[in-house]
Amino acid sequence: MSSQQSDFERTPGGAVLMDGKRLRDELIVSLRSTIAAAGDPEVCLATVLVGDDKPSQVYVKSKGKKAVEAGLQSRHVGLGADSTQSEVEAAVRELVEDPGVHGILVQLPLPDGLDPEPVLDLIPPEKDVDGLTERSMGRLVRGKLGHAPCTPLGVMRLLDRYGVETSGRNAVVVGRSTLVGLPQVLLLGRKGADATVTLAHSRTSDLAAVCRDADIIVAAAGIARLIGAEHVKPGAAVIDVGISRTEDGIVGDVDFDAVQAVAGAVTPMPGGTGPMTIACLMENTYAAYGMMQGS
């Protein structure tokens, strides 16, 4: 752990609390200053929401609010739950063809009966600010210019901001989704981060032993309280990405109360990686503008 961590808020157990809300707000303010210094160009993030799923509506509204705070333009396309595949694809295609739109985010999941893959495939890498298409993933694998998925990128921002060293360290990513787990492995292991990364999952033999060798654990399996104190080497950094709905409410993959007494740094749930996902979406949108301007 870095000596700069002495200035950070800590949990009752003494771990550094990696506050995603605080860092999100810092990044939004910084981005607003950057855009103002560039002459306030019109940078547009377009969101597409199909159906009336309440959590998705709240999430999309939050994205639009933060976009405005960051100095971006926010455009929203809302489609009914009875929309056809062709109607959804037509709405996305219109945004793709609009030169005034720099970033496109299609809120997932789509309603039952709609296939998200043909919809995402319409989005060119330059406008794929969520980093979800196969072309964006290919660019990440090959180290080409593109947009990394926002959640794993947010994890990297948290590690950097809170002084968690990655170079030469051992990291374990628990979860193998294309949304978080796989790109997280790539981001931690690429040049500049230089961690030695192990990909684990719910079927990993003796998961606790694998995790105890790690200096950094990223829990992204979507299994409530999967990671306990027995998984954590004293002083390790533990990042909670998972979200599960239980009788106790929404909980993460990390048993926070137990882990915070062992870890050197830990994210809260909520208030950790979720806010960072939105902050990195805004950063990716401004980067998309730069890519389209050739800068």
pLDDT digits (tens, 9 = 90+) for 94-140: 999 999 999 999 999 999 999 999 999 999 999 999 999 999 999 99
Backbone angles phi, psi at 238, to 5 degrees: -125, 120
What integer pLDDT is reported at residue 245 of this predicted model? 83
CATH of domain 39-130: 3.40.50.10860
Task: Compute the average pLDDT of residues 188-210.
Answer: 97
Active-site annotation holder among 63, 66, 184, 253: 63
Based on the residue annotation, tell me whether 206 is a catalytic residue of this protein.
Answer: no
For the chain, the domains span: 3-18+150-274, 39-130
R_g over Cα of the chain: 19
SS3 69: helix
CA-CA distance, 211 to 222, in Å (whole number)? Answer: 16
Q: Is the pLDDT of residue 1 over 60?
A: no
Average pLDDT over residues 189-206: 96
Percent of the chain at pLDDT exceeding 90:
91
**249-251 and 244-246 beta bridge pairing:** antiparallel
Q: In what order do the strands lie in the sheet with 73-79?
A: 73-79, 44-50, 103-106
User: What secondary structure, in 3-state letters, does 11-60 show?
Assistant: CCCCCEECCHHHHHHHHHHHHHHHHHHCCCCCCEEEEEEECCCHHHHHHH
Q: What is the pLDDT of residues 138-177, one digit of tens each?
A: 999 999 999 999 999 999 999 999 999 999 999 999 999 9
Residue 249 pLDDT level (bands cut at 50, 70, 90): confident
> Of the CATH numbers 3.40.190.10, 1.10.1660.10, 3.30.479.30, 3.40.50.720, which one belongs to the domain with range 3-18+150-274?
3.40.50.720
Model confidence at 248, pLDDT cuts 50, 70, 90, reads confident
Whether 39-130 and 3-18+150-274 are alike in CATH topology: the answer is: yes
Whether residue 7 is predicted with pLDDT greater than 80 in this model: the reply is no
Q: What is the mean pLDDT of the chain?
A: 95
The separation between CA 90 and the C-alpha centre of its own chain, rounded to angstroms, equals: 27
Please provide the DSSP assignment of 80-144 as one string. -TT--HHHHHHHHHHHHH-TT--EEEE-SSPPTT--HHHHHHTS-GGG-TT--SHHHHHHHHHT-
- 21 catalytically annotated: no
State the DSSP code for 247.
T
Angle, helix 134-142 to helix 181-189, in steps of 10 degrees: 20
Q: Which of 19, 66, 107, 260 is catalytic?
A: 107
Catalytic site includes residue 65: no
Q: What is the pLDDT at residue 231?
A: 98
Joined tokens for residue 236: 């390790």
Q: What is the mean pLDDT of residues 206-216?
A: 98
Nearest in space to 10 (alpha carbons), one of 263, 271, 279: 263
Element (H, E) at 171: strand 170-174
pLDDT at 3: 45
Backbone angles phi, psi at 120, to 5 degrees: -65, -35
Q: Using CA atoms, how far apart are residues 240 and 279, in angstroms rounded to an integer? A: 17
Catalytic pick among 66, 127, 128, 130:
130
